[in-house]
Amino acid sequence: MKSKFRHIALIGKHQPPVAGGMQLSSRQVLDKLAHFLHTEGCEVVVEKETCANAGMQGYAALDVAQIGRECDLAVVVGGDGTMLRAARDTADAGTPLLGVNLGGLGFLTAISAGHFAKELRAVWQGKFTIETRPLIEVGGSLGGQLVSRPALNDFVVSRGAGSRLIELEVTVDGEELTRYRCDGLIVSSPTGSTAYSLAAGGAIVSPRAEVFTLTPICPHTLSNRSVVVSLHSTIGIRALSGRIETLLSADGEVVAPMAAGESVVIRRSERSTRLLHSAGTSFFKTLRQKLNWSGAHV
């Protein structure tokens, strides 16, 4: 059976060319995917930077805006970091994303690189679901410059290279929550609960739950724990530390330093991304398998 997705884009890791291109495994998977999709009767294009980094020849190279306008599906080859970038870049277009996992845990990537042909043929047969995940956004004035950035997983306000704790004042809907003395604070979306927040001891949240999770990193006060608030809340964070470098990051990428007295506001974005999953997969099944919980099918 031929695919209902006729025009498909390939997106891979962004990194400087090394030894002639991307990591060998990534390049191999991209080549095999392109060949497979072509034999299945699909028109294949490659995202512009992916095409340049991988040295792929013979395929149209499109930017993200063009992919959003022209493609029915984007297949993302990499780990969750690659999926995060693709999700942010394509959010306005509504093009569904299907992740092929080359990374570690891979909570966002739906299928493994070794089984993509089988999984994609099942997708052609209609055995898939498409899930909408909300993005979150941060805004504020830092260093005299307006900052506005979306994220799918989380925003983190953390200390820089120094070893001293930073102090942060946090409000929820204008009401003071607390002042943290800590290495940092993670504000995660439902999707991001299994990322940095989980590593810092935060709760695992179903991606369907409409909540923010606020998780302090190594707080000085042991009673400080993760706090869960509505995804419709507005979260304010003000840096109070004067001589300690404080950094704002989005999905693991540094956005800007925060000076003492500067603040940012985090809220739900109006933008969202669409993730395609193979039939039979679920968030809880993924948890059992990735975290080796009881009931996992090995």
Encode pLDDT of 205-228 as tens digits: 999 999 999 999 999 988 889 999
Question: How confident is the model at residue 53, as a pLDDT?
Answer: 81
How much is the pLDDT for 20? 47
* pLDDT of res. 230: 98
Active site residue 183: no
Q: Is the pLDDT of residue 100 over 80?
A: yes
Question: Model confidence over 120-179: pLDDT tens digits?
Answer: 999 999 999 999 999 999 999 999 999 999 999 999 999 988 789 999 999 999 999 999
Average confidence score pLDDT of the chain: 89
Close Cβ partners of 253 (under 8 Å, ≥ 6 residues apart)? none
pLDDT digits (tens, 9 = 90+) for 34-64: 999 999 999 999 999 888 887 787 889 998 8
Q: What count of other Cβ atoms lies within 10 Å of the Cβ of residue 22? A: 26
In DSSP terms, 225 is beta-bridged to none
Half-sphere exposure of 262 (CA within 13 A, CB side): 20
Q: How far apart are CA 269 and CA 163, in angstroms?
A: 33
Residue 24, pLDDT score: 47
Number of other CB atoms surrounding residue 220 within 10 Å: 12
Q: Is 70 exceeded by the pLDDT of residue 105?
A: no
pLDDT at 1 (0 to 100) = 47
Q: pLDDT at position 21, please? A: 47
Q: Higher confidence at residue 268 or residue 109? A: 268
In the chain, the N- to C-terminal Cα span, in Å, equals: 30
pLDDT digits (tens, 9 = 90+) for 228-276: 999 999 999 999 988 889 999 999 999 999 999 999 999 999 999 999 9
pTM: 0.89
pLDDT given at position 15: 57
Nearest in space to 63 (alpha carbons), one of 42, 80, 48:
48
Q: What is the pLDDT of residues 271-290, one digit of tens each?
A: 999 999 888 888 888 888 88
CA nearest 275: which of 74, 33, 45?
74
Handedness of CA 10, 12, 14, 16 (dihedral sign): negative
Confidence grade of residue 2 (pLDDT, cut at 50, 70, 90): low
Number of helices and strands (H, E) in the chain? 7, 18
Among residues 80, 89, 183, 251, the one annotated as catalytic is 80
Alpha helices, H only, the chain:
24-39, 48-54, 64-70, 80-90, 116-124, 196-199, 283-290
